[in-house]
Structure formats: C-alpha cells, structure tokens
Structure 1
C-alpha cells in the first residue's frame, strides 16, 4: 500500500545536507542513474551517492561538462564508478537510445533520480509542438523511466523531482501545450511539476507490487543554473537576491537541495512503501488547495485518479505504451 501523505519521524529537516541524509548507508554494489548530474544539485546528488559507494551513471546533454564533473567527483570521493552517457530529455530519440542501451547492458538499476529540469522558459516547442517544460521535465523523464523499467531491481526506488511550483497549476488536460490559451511560463512550469508528482504516484501504483517504489520530491529553494532563463530583474523583484546579488536567507545550498532526493532513494524509514510527495527529508503535509504557503503538497499533485488520467495522456503524446 502507498504510504500516507503525512510526516513521519524523520531525524532530518530543512537544513539537512545530502551527506547527512545518507550517513551510515552503504551503497556498494548498487547502481544509480541521476539525470541533470552535471549541474546544480544534481552534482551533489551524484557526489553523495558515489561517496556512499554506488556506481552512478550520469546521462547528460553536454558531454564535456559531464566528463568534467564526473572527474571531479571521482577525485573527491575515490569512487571510480562514476560514468557519463549522452542524453537530451528534449530529444526523445536520444532518450530512447540511452535507456535502451542501459537495459541491454544487463545492469540492474537500484536508484533512478529524475533530477534534470528547466524552469520558467520563454515559449518553446520540442518534438513537433510539445510545450518545452512539460515535454522536458515530465514527458522526457517518463519516456526514459518507462524504457528503463525492466532494469529496475526488486527494492529499487524512483525519485521524481517536483517543486512547490506545482501549486501554480494543475495539469491542463484540455490544453497542455498552450495551443489555445496564452502561454504563461510560470503556469507551464507549475503544470510540469504537478505532472512530475503525479507520475511518481501512478508509477508507484504500478510498480509497488513488484517491490519497487516511487517518490515525488520538492528539493527546496536553491539558486542554481535552473534559473538561467529568468531575467536578473525578475529574480531581484521576487526577493531571491539583494541589491548586491547575494542569495537571501532561506535558500538551500546545492547539497541541501540534494538531501531529500537522496533520502527518498536510500532511507530505511521509507521501506514501507512509496507514492508520496516529500520535502525537507520527510513526507510533506497535504495542504488545502487555496493555501498560499510555500510548503506542503496540493491535492491535484497526488490525486491517484488524476495520475492515471495523466499517464494515459502522456502515453498518447509520446506515442508509446509502457508495459509497467
């Protein structure tokens, strides 16, 4: 059964760093895939798993950047099993090629962390007309995960990075690509992050009978390359930085942002199941849909019926049915 959407007795909190979340956990002999591992909190996610002994595969868009990061992590952790592969989530042929190549390698997959993403981008289209944030953040990861499903070992965990930004918008089933309604970059981002959470809910329902669990994660506020498409004036207007460009108090470090994903991927406290939205190294509280706060999860991001509906829509948009 899925876990209940309410906090548990986690010893960690919003200030927990990724290394603390995995302390005492031995990942030797385990294999992980981390998307977006060449920048931001993805780097610290890979570093933490590698330091705990895992073999980590980094599918990246920029091979050069990926190799530079992998070399640094190998040096800092002493773990040579940090590998780089080519993949662009906005290019579904490359997603299929990566996933199929991994499956053919006959390697069992123990942890899959869907960390990569884009945020608040100008209106862009990928793959013949799909809105880029929905198509990259959600559909690209769903395609990869669906094709990797056969490699997931019993006891494996899948982590889908969502965001508190999900509160901006449920999935727009009538117009997910903003074809008939004006494009709003924040609504598009919110929709994609709601979709990431719903994907974890439905994936968990399908895989839990096989001993595999999935979790949605809000990593917290972190200033990284994720904000690259947001004008500096807008970032300042939000109060994210001061007049001197210093990040305001309350933002997490990249290692702090990586902590909840690492916790979900490894913590024995979650051995009882999955299918929940997590934040600050704990299961988040369900908040009223009209709650203006920046914590907790809204109902539309964890509704199992909506998750099933999104799965069907996503398969149609991808032109692919997953035997999961």
Structure 2
C-alpha cells in the first residue's frame, strides 16, 4: 500500500499565500511554542489580528516579539493569560474578551502523557486541557463567534484510535490510569465535541472541526520517553521513524490553518481533518492510526458526552 502521507507537505504559509485576513480576529491557545506559534505566525502574516492565549505570559510575550519581527509591517499579536487546567481562568479570559467579535478560535493547546494529576476542578489533567477547557471556552465565546459566522478548530490526534469512550468515568475515578490511553480518550472526546458543538450551533452559523497536525516534534512530548515512543510504534528501536519523517511545526500548522480558512469548509462542522483533507473513516485497508474512527464521530455519543460534560463543568464552577 502506498503511504498517504508521502506527498509533499505544505506549510501554513503555503495555504495562506494570496489570502487576505485583514479585519479578521483570531485566538490561538497554546501559542507560546511549537505548532501554536506557527499557526499564529501564519495568521498574522496573512493580516489577521491574533491573540496568543497562553499559560506562561512571559513565554507568550517572547513568541509575540518573534512573530512581529518575522512578519514585517504586520501587527504584533496580543498576549493574554489562560490556564486550561483551571476553568476559572477560562472564564476570566472570556470575560476579558468581552463583546468583541471573533472570527477564528483555534483550540491548539494540548497536554500529552503526564502522570495522573487532578485539577482544582477535579478533572484529570489531560481531559481538562484537551477537552473540558476547549469545551468551556468555545461555549463562552459563542456569541462573539456568531457575530462573524466564526469557525472553531480543536486540535486532536490520531491517538484517538486507541481509546474507547467511557462516559461513566471521564476523570479516571474508577479505572486504572494509563497515560497514553488517557490522552487518546481526551482526543476522542475532542472529536465528539466538534460533532455536537456544530450540531447545536448550526443555526448561528458557527462550526467546529477537529484536526490532527500529524507527528511534530514539540514540547508536547516532554512526558514521552524514548521507550514509550518505541512501545507505541512512533519510532523504531534504532531511532528511525516507521512512516517517514516528522513534520516541522510550520507543516504541522497547515491542517489547523486549512480548517480555519478553507472556503470549501464553509458551513461544514463535525469533521476530522488530516493532511489538509477530510479524513476517511478508518477501515482495515488503512494503516493503524490513520483516518478517523467512526466511533469518535458518532452523533449519539456526541450528544451523550455533551450532556455529561456540561453537567460536570457547571457543577465544578458553580
């Protein structure tokens, strides 16, 4: 079988060549390093007014200065504090945003493979960062997005293939915690969030799509050992990669940017995007981890998950 990832890989700037985003506003979470910086940089160079929503404001300021220096005459992005491990800071960020209209919300920030930890809200940390916080932020900013028929993007992962939905135990209070299963579970939930968010808000013209940037070497992998990577099949024992090279951050930013601006995606939500295309539903004819599982786009599970998660968020922040 030919490798579907073997074609030339575009960068975010390639996708935005000739695109004018002047007058458009965007928020990019986790934009102090890695793919988040690459997404924000490309949007700024295309003329968008970008806010870096970051946990480490000093690192965000450094990223903003670097983006401004690389972008010539384009404006320096704004920097705002948000900690996706705390629903209170998510609410505070949305309150500071106020009633300003918003065109693009890129839920890029992620957490992968840490030891078991619980947040101040009682959420397992990977579920908090990868699912609960994007859920809450996207809901709080819905009026701002509706004012511009905005788009929401949530960054997912092929690791969703390796988990099954557990509505009865989203925060690992009942079952043993395995850090990479937990990561896949949170990303599966992110896919389902895109489905139900888009269904609920279709009348307001706001959509959410999930996407994977692909394999990119960033500090997202700071909790991953070499032995972990071999066991998961991400690298061979000799350190080579089983499916070609890792993407650069600029290449990893391409699919999230495509999700944000592609004309052909106008009005379409609840999709899982991979390599700047709508991903196929996984079948045995595809290699493991490629495409998207049907279970992670199931509309009935998406509704049930929404109801459970909404109750947890309201309970914890009441």
> TM over 0.5, yes or no?
yes
Q: Does the CA-based 8 Å contact 2:67-2:76 persist in structure 1?
A: no
Question: Of 105, 108, 118, which aligns to 2:101?
Answer: 108
Question: Of 216, 239, 246, which aligns to 1:251?
Answer: 246
Q: Does the CA-based 8 Å contact 2:206-2:267 persist in structure 1?
A: no
Find the counterpart in structure 1 of residue 119 from structure 2: 126
Partners of 1:128 and 1:206 lie apart in 2 by 25
Find the counterpart in structure 2 of residue 161 from structure 1: 155
Partners of 1:319 and 1:74 lie apart in 2 by 39
Question: Of 44, 59, 78, which aligns to 2:53?
Answer: 59
Shift of 1:114: 0.3
**Aligned-residue CA RMSD in angstroms?**
2.2
Question: Of 296, 299, 303, which aligns to 2:294?
Answer: 299
Change (3 A) 1:246 1:64: farther
List, as ranges, runs of 4+ consecutive aligned residues in structure 1 with deviation greater than 4 Å. Answer: 236-248, 289-292
Find the counterpart in structure 1 of residue 314 from structure 2: 319
Find the counterpart in structure 2 of residue 148 from structure 1: 141
TM-score (normalizing by structure 2) = 0.91
Shift of 1:246: 7.5
DSSP 3-state at the match of 1:16:
coil
TM-score (normalizing by structure 1) = 0.89
Counting only pairs closer than 5 Å after superposition, residues 199-210 of structure 1 correspond to structure 2 as 199-210=193-204
Change (3 A) 1:238 1:189: closer
* Higher alpha-carbon deviation: 197-206 or 287-296: 287-296
- Number of matched pairs: 308
Stretches of structure 1 lacking an aligned partner (at least 5 in a row): 1-12
CA deviations 1:24-55 (Å, max 9, x no partner) are 21100000000011111001000000000000
Partners of 2:292 and 2:56 lie apart in 1 by 33
